[in-house]
Amino acid sequence: MPATDVLKTVKLRLGLDDSHDELIDSYVQEIGQRILHYTNLAEIPAELEHTWASMVIDALRIEQPNMPGIAETTGAGESVTIGDTSSAPARPAGLTNTAKSAIDTVVLNYRVDLNRNRKLRW
């Protein structure tokens, strides 16, 4: 499964142009390595392409919430007002998790999808 296909899928789903290709590709590569590490496979199977793309999108939403194209999909900074009562996000939109914990969280959130392809080590 080429990472370029995942990059194209992510850009298509988020409606992004080519201006952020290097940043997105770095997420594609890192998530790809995490998938390989978790599944103990030599290469990522084609049936995980959409899972891989969804994981990259989630990582981008966590770590790059203010990036143009991402900000519109995260709901960051939205507040709800009903009558004289309003509710806003608990933390400012600019704060994010550290890269390692955010990526680990994304991988663990998709472990059900990844477990189908996981190879046990002996």
**Band of pLDDT at residue 107, cut at 50, 70 and 90:** confident
pTM of the complete model = 0.75
Question: Which residue, 55, 46, 43, is CA-closest to 10?
Answer: 55
pLDDT of 89 reads 53
Question: Which residue, 19, 45, 23, is CA-closest to 32?
Answer: 45
User: What whole-number distance in Å separates Cα of residue 45 and Cα of residue 6?
Assistant: 12
For residues 78-87, average pLDDT: 64
- Residue-wise pLDDT tens digits, 19-58: 889 999 999 999 999 999 999 999 999 999 999 999 999 9
Rg of the chain in Å (alpha carbons)? 16
pLDDT of 54 reads 94
User: What whole-number distance in Å separates Cα of residue 40 and Cα of residue 36?
Assistant: 6
